[in-house]
A and B are shown apart, each in its own frame.
Chain A
């Protein structure tokens, strides 16, 4: 298990560190500022903070000394004249995902944004460039739309460790797109998904993957918690299978985590349907599958079981070895050291948690 947890919250960037069996806050940075993503680049140990200042726009900072000092870098910006739709100017509204470009491209960094632009840096984040081929994809202006946010956004960037030019992205709402040449060309990968909110649920584009992840030990196995269920692919996203429980809690939600040593094991944080977005029957649970989604176990031991409103945002559930952790919308942080069989509370008094990542 990695001994650090980085949290992006509505009121700052929090780093927890495990020492003598206890999680302690190692560092609070950007107190009072909304941090949409707190990210550690595993290659260099650099921490990244994506800030969402309400008034002053989106900002990006990095730290090379575990948060002791931070440096602001130019946040991804849309080139002059770029438009959301005809006549509507484009500007970065939110940084929704950060992913390193892999070991073969030490200086590459991907950033996904609302309103739907993917950016890439080839100089370790000193500068970012809009990935033109995706922004100019013929489907964007016509078939992409906002889901939860006013404009479409890229919340997931999944780099294939075997061939790092091979990248999947998740867009709400458009679906899963794949590039095999580091962003020069794109394939749409939504076959088998279902978009119940569209006139044609089997539409090629317009799906709402809430989060997309790949199994670290088998990158052809991809999982997504989707607006319309939980889906899994074992063929590199060429086809998707619905693995939701039709009547059980493992169906609607936002986060999903896959074990880093088992492509068939994953966790989700069920929520009431999209109409209320609260914990189901006021009780918090995590569901885990150990068999690739054929069956789900409900895990409640140590989690609040009454008067509970917590749900878990898409980036706020993570696993590392036997450890699983999540932060909730009502500021609770829970940790399990036995793959979810039992839970302990780390903090009940945090701001709303947007992201959680295990790091070294």
Chain B
């Protein structure tokens, strides 16, 4: 149960809870260069914005790497929820469930 281990690492009080559901946020390895040691984290937010706020709290300045000045997902950044690319890149209103896997990746590019 990697997810449970991650969640307990992040929130130690959860070790007393037998069953729970938390979304997990994973990151492309390309972000390692700017955020050394970045790793997947559990998140409790109800919207993608709330989730990204949790990510920002954990990795300060990261939102400006993912979102442009107006809060829109950058052109060459993608977010997948349970394997599907989100569709609302400006409003970040795509739905997910408490046990979703939210994967933040980059588009590939040339040299």
Contacts and interface: CB of A to CB of B under 8 A. Distances in A.
Given A54-B109, A55-B30, A55-B106, A91 B70 contact: yes
Nearest to B74: A57
A56 B34 contact: yes
B71 interface: yes
A291 interface: no
B64 interface: yes
Contact of A55 (B69, B71, B107): B107
A74 B106 CA distance: 21
A135 to B, nearest CB: 13
A89 B74 contact: no
Contacts of B15: none
Contacts of B109: 54-55
> How would you classify the secondary structure of chain A's contact residues: helix, strand, loop or mixed?
loop
Given A78-B69, A89-B70, A55 B76 contact: yes
Nearest to B64: A57
A59 B34 CA distance: 11
B5 interface: no
Nearest to A81: B70
B34 to A, nearest CB: 7
Contacts of A75: 64
B65 interface: yes
A80 interface: yes
Contacts of A182: none
B72 interface: yes
Contacts of B66: 56
Nearest to B110: A54
A282 B22 CA distance: 63
Contacts of B72: 89, 91
Contacts of B70: 78, 80-82, 89-91
A59 B66 CA distance: 12
A153 to B, nearest CB: 15
Interface residues of A, number: 19
Contacts of A78: 69-70
Interface string A46-68: 00000001111101000000000
Interface string A67-106: 0000010110111111000000111100000000000000
B68 interface: yes
B61 interface: yes
Nearest to B70: A89
Nearest to B31: A56
Nearest to B108: A55
B77 interface: yes
A59 B63 CA distance: 12
Contacts of A53: 65
A81 B68 CA distance: 12
Contacts of A89: 68-70, 72
A74 B56 CA distance: 14
Interface in B45-98: 61, 64-66, 68-72, 74, 76-77
A90 B71 CA distance: 11
A336 B68 CA distance: 42
Contacts of B69: 77-80, 82, 89-92
A72 B34 CA distance: 10
A59 B65 CA distance: 9
B8 to A, nearest CB: 31
A56 B65 contact: yes
22 contacts: A53-B65, A54-B76, A54-B109, A55-B74, A55-B76, A55-B77, A55-B107, A56-B65, A56-B74, A56-B77, A57-B64, A57-B74, A59-B64, A74-B61, A74-B64, A77-B69, A80-B69, A80-B71, A82-B69, A89-B69, A91-B68, A91-B69
Interface of A: 53-57, 59, 72, 74-75, 77-82, 89-92
Given A79-B69, A91-B68, 20 more contacts: A54-B109, A55-B30, A55-B76, A55-B107, A56-B77, A57-B64, A57-B65, A59-B64, A74-B61, A74-B64, A77-B64, A77-B69, A78-B69, A80-B71, A81-B70, A82-B69, A89-B68, A89-B69, A90-B69, A91-B72
10 closest cross-chain pairs (CB), A and B: A91-B68, A91-B69, A56-B65, A55-B76, A77-B69, A89-B70, A78-B69, A55-B106, A54-B109, A91-B70
